[in-house]
A = this chain, B = another copy of it.
């Protein structure tokens, strides 16, 4: 099993040495954010794309300068040869799919921050994988965190932080309204832009039009607040164009799909105590994140303009990395991590 060099942990307060695993759009943005930080030193990069392997990370992510880090497709060799503190991992949304990668990283003695949506609260849907990964983490003395804007921040962590100012909490409602018009083509496609209602429904049934993570956020909130949910529901409906909409990638006539209206619900005894509503569509009006806590006192929060998904996710991964390196071994989630504050 590859290890050794990787286990030379950083000294406290020192520079964070990062390996970047997955150099897609999000991984590339994380690399650009990390490269701009005084407190971060990029020491390695992994991707399986033959068009990227062998090239300098700085060139591939459009940094305009070389970083002296060559992208490799041989992760184990890299881990064995490269002292590092944490792997920033961005290769997939589903825990079962990325599990072998995560186990390889952990077995190499490296901490992980991943954008894998299901890892944001892995016990929600995969308690067995979570238990095994947690066991390996403790064995190797490393920590694994899944984070991102959602799940990981606006619809769970931020609501839980706010609950701290409440004497009593009876319900948590979050709304996220995202205008997908200016987002990446894959995201516009993923939300069903341009489809008919029927095509949209087929993809929903095949779980191909679906934001991953509402289930995880519902579970994180419920566990943190001590609510035993009887039921978690998730529904996905299309948003429909009322007028002609054109983006850089799609033209959507009236009556066609512009995006998704996805709702996650947590129920206790028939009462809906958690409602997470995610509307992500082309031309969304008044994009925003909102959180209402029903309790004493009520909390009524608005993030005006919303939180840009890619900007915030990539920031959270880098900002949380420092906290993860400091954290005790095991799987940790954002609800138990000290604030992942920005650093230089």
Contacts and interface: CB of A to CB of B under 8 A. Distances in A.
Query: Which of A166, A299, A319 neighbours the largest number of chain B CB atoms within 10 Å of its CB?
Result: A166
A51 B104 CA distance: 66
A299 B316 CA distance: 14
Contacts of A298: 305
A338 B338 contact: yes
Contacts of A337: 338
A160 interface: yes
Contacts of A39: 226
Contacts of A311: 165, 167, 296-297
Contact of A163 (B168, B300, B342): B342
Contacts of A36: 167-168
Contacts of A149: 165
A198 to B, nearest CB: 37
A320 B338 CA distance: 13
Contacts of A341: 160-161, 163-164, 224-225, 335
A96 interface: no
This chain: copies in complex: 2
Contacts of A342: 163-164, 166, 168-169, 225, 295
Interface string A6-38: 000000000000000000000000000100100
Looking at chain A's contact residues, the main secondary structure is mixed
A336 interface: yes
Interface in A266-287: none
A322 to B, nearest CB: 11
Interface in A296-344: 296-305, 307-308, 311-312, 314-316, 318-320, 335-344
Contact of A165 (B168, B296, B299, B316): B316
Contacts of A203: none
A158 interface: yes
Contact of A301 (B163, B226, B301, B336): B301
A188 interface: no
In order of increasing CB-CB distance, the 10 nearest A-B pairs are A165-B312, A163-B342, A164-B340, A300-B304, A167-B315, A160-B341, A297-B311, A161-B339, A169-B342, A164-B319
